[in-house]
Amino acid sequence: MTTESPTRTSPEDAGAPTPKRRSFAVPPRFVPILTTFALFLATFGVGAVRYDGFASGQVVANLFVDNAFLIVLAVGMTFVILTGGIDLSVGSVVALSTMVAASTLQAGWPAPLVIVAVLVLGAGFGLLTGLVIHHFDVQPFIATLAGMFLARGLCFLIDVESISIKDDTFRDLATGVIELPGDIRITYGVVVALLVVAVAVYVLHRTRFGRTVYAVGGSEHSAMLMGLATGRVKVGVYVISGLCSALGGLLFALYMLSGYGLHAVGMELDAIAAVVIGGTVLSGGAGYVVGSVLGVLMLGTIQTIISFEGTLSSWWTKIVVGALLLVFIVMQRAIVRRRS
């Protein structure tokens, strides 16, 4: 007599659920910033291989030293673009800030009072712009374009010539350096810019205001239905942008040690380019301040490579930046379509 051995049924035969293989997938919202970081490393790597001394710590530090004011501007622009807006007035406000600082210092105002006055001016300018956009339902492009012409015109009402800054406090701040290990030197402007970045990251990711900024950019109507203070936030981001523009203007005044109505011409486009290359979506709702900083460093690296090359025209910077902008805008549209 033979006995049949029981047949074993596999989990597949029994219909038991099979464990799924874990696959690593990068969330779409991180793709632009990771792409920017990879491009930055690749671009810097090309410079390091091609030019002697390019990979030194001081060259990296100079990316921050030479672009501290642009980092501050890009932070303010990030807030605006995250809500789906735009601010074309930042370059003109930078110039106006340098003119106000230089002229008031020339008139004998103490440096601390000048700094406060310039910051209040920038915040007030942003407040006016935000109120016009919110209460009169004006497109941000038109309102900030008007602000751009207004601020630039006010510069030449103060003086049509460049005003040199000879105040001892400003000159000490401009020429002072902080020694870092490895014989690396940075300016006080870099410290200010990094503090602004840290505060902005905290505000956007740890406060109700920051969460509302993302909500407004994602869908303003939905944010209103949720009871969020969309109007207050829309005005607030332009106040932040104006404040950052004024602070950037002070840093630019320290960098140039002068005030001039033709300072920072086109700087608003550099700020927008840095923010977009850094991964912030132009339609709003997605982006990171750290990405905007990477965008600024990317622009600075391109300029540094052209400077090391010596034979290339500075216009190549614009050509490369334009190509990068096109690539990142197309990438953003692809991500948006994938989400929808």
In the chain, where the domains are located: 28-47+55-339
Q: What is the pLDDT of residue 19?
A: 54
Higher-scoring residue by pLDDT: 13, 58: 58
Q: How confident is the model at residue 128 (pLDDT cuts 50, 70, 90)?
A: very high
Asked if the model's pLDDT at residue 68 lies above 50, the reply is yes
Average pLDDT over residues 330-335: 76
Instruction: Tell me if 222 sits within 8 A of 230, measured CB to CB.
Output: no
In three-state secondary structure terms, 54 is: coil
In three-state secondary structure terms, 55 is: coil
Distances (CA, A) of 108 to 118, 205, 216: 15, 42, 44
Please provide the distance, in angstroms rounded to a whole number, between the alpha carbons at the two ends of the chain: 68
List pLDDT tens digits, range 81-92.
999 999 999 999
Angle at CA 41, nearest 5°, toward 37 and 42?
A: 115
Task: Give domain 28-47+55-339's CATH number out of 2.40.10, 1.10.1470, 3.30.70, 1.10.3470.
Answer: 1.10.3470
Average pLDDT over residues 141-145: 98
Exposure pattern of 226-240 as b/e (b: 16+ CB <10 Å)? eebebeebbbbbbbb
Higher-scoring residue by pLDDT: 337, 146: 146
Instruction: Tell me if 235 sits within 8 A of 131, measured CB to CB.
Output: yes
Average pLDDT over residues 92-107: 98
- The model's pTM: 0.90
Based on the number of CB atoms within 10 Å of its own CB, is 21 exposed (0-12), middle (13-18) or buried (19 or more)?
exposed
Angle between helices 111-135 and 230-256 (to 10 degrees): 140
CA distance 90 to 238: 10
What token pair was written down for 49? 């291989």
Q: What is the DSSP string of 91-143?
A: HHHHHHHHHHHHHHHHTT--HHHHHHHHHHHHHHHHHHHHHHHHHS---HHHH
- Average pLDDT over the chain, rounded to whole? 91
CA distance 208 to 247: 24
Q: Which run of H or of E encompasses 227?
A: none
Based on the number of CB atoms within 10 Å of its own CB, is 184 exposed (0-12), middle (13-18) or buried (19 or more)?
middle
Q: What is the pLDDT of residue 274?
A: 95
Q: How confident is the model at residue 126 (pLDDT cuts 50, 70, 90)?
A: very high
Based on the number of CB atoms within 10 Å of its own CB, is 137 exposed (0-12), middle (13-18) or buried (19 or more)?
exposed
